Amino acid sequence: MTNRRGSKSSFGSIRKLPSGRWQARYAGPDGRTHKAHTTFETKGDAEAWLATVRTDLVRDTWRPGSSGVAPRALTFGDYAEAWLAGRTVRGRPLADRTRAHYRTLLDTYVLPTFGPIALKHITPESVDHWYAVTAVGRPTTQAHAYSLLRTILGTAVDRNLISTANPAKVRGGGSTTRVKKVRPASLDELEAIVTAMPERYRVMTLLASWCALRFGELAELRRSDVDTKAGQLRIRRGVVRAGGQTIVKTPKSDAGSRDVAIPPHLMPLVREHLLAHAEPGRDGLLFPARGGGHLAPSSLYRVYYRAREAAGRPDLRWHDLRHTGAVLAAQTGATLAELMGRLGHATPAAALRYQHAAAERDVEIARRLSDLAGGR
């Protein structure tokens, strides 16, 4: 009898792991389930292992931990599977989207090379060579894959599974330089984009920029999250897509849960949108899909791409509207702490980027003032 998880015979069971190797286990006479302390390259090898265990049972020579197969060194593949299954961040399980990202990186880039290799046999030279030929031309993917490999190996070092230092020693391997510098939209460009958007998405576009909100935060906003009297949005949840599923979740950090003040000039438009386009009821979505439920990014992007073309900014990604709003806030003289609070940042590093961008704009403003003086 077979199923997706593996196969079951008259004694024990076998299943294929995501790494491509086979795991065997059986119920012992002590009433407990026992697994082989190794995985196998082929299903036949796993079946042979079960046969030796059954022979031990018949001969009454079975002891817990006996296997009929000499133990082998722990492989990276086996350890990586256990690491991913038990990984937490600040005591919390990995977010579904993060876990799916790690799964893809492992299966596509890391396990094909290091999966069958014993942890103790991974060397700096082998990591250097792997890094040089992995995700060539895709620096962000390369950096993410390397960071994951380095983190897993680092944990193995901490657990004394690797007696020497972490073999992942590529200088700068986990960092990547921003490929393009984001140029925020001007107010005229922003107005042109909003005008070119379908009416049901105009307020969403305005809040993405003037309130510097993420797509996932906007797509999960509900009527109960809007305080029209105080002119505030309550950001307490976001929606993400992982593994083909739509998942509503709380922010990654406490800083992500925040109240964001809506610029007063937008409030009449927000009230009109609530009347015309939001779903009914306190839990009704502000920006639902046409058929109801959460709006998919692809549905929004189809109309947004046309709008940005009409504004002469084909380079401006949707997330760049958040960047635009952050720079506008910085230009008002907002402090670093105020920017962090408005943007939902837990650390100053990201907010500092917007302050630097605002400083660059200030230089441009000064230059234009001199142009005015010269013209006069």
Domain residue extents for the chain = 2-58, 76-158, 187-369
Q: What is d(CA 216, CA 370) in angstroms, rounded to the nearest whole number? A: 42
Q: How confident is the model at residue 69 (pLDDT cuts 50, 70, 90)?
A: very low
Give 163 or 141, the one with higher predicted confidence.
141
Give 312 or 256, the one with higher predicted confidence.
312
Burial string for 87-112 (b: 16+ CB within 10 Å, else e) reads eeeeeeebbebebbebeebbeebbbe
Q: What CATH superfamily is the domain 187-369? A: Intergrase catalytic core (1.10.443.10)
Global pTM reads: 0.59
Mean pLDDT (the chain) is: 84
Q: How confident is the model at residue 368 (pLDDT cuts 50, 70, 90)?
A: low
Q: Which residues are catalytic?
A: 214, 319, 322, 345, 354
Q: What is the mean pLDDT of residues 292-309?
A: 94
According to the model, what pLDDT value does residue 64 have?
A: 63
According to the model, what pLDDT value does residue 68 have?
A: 47
Select, from the ranges 2-6, 162-166, 347-351, the one with the highest average predicted confidence (pLDDT). 162-166
According to the model, what pLDDT value does residue 364 have?
A: 61
Q: What is d(CA 232, CA 156) in angstroms, rounded to the nearest whole number? A: 47
Of 332, 341, 301, residue with least CA distance to 204 = 301
Token pair for 224: 């109960």
Q: How confident is the model at residue 376 (pLDDT cuts 50, 70, 90)?
A: very low
Give 346 or 128, the one with higher predicted confidence.
128
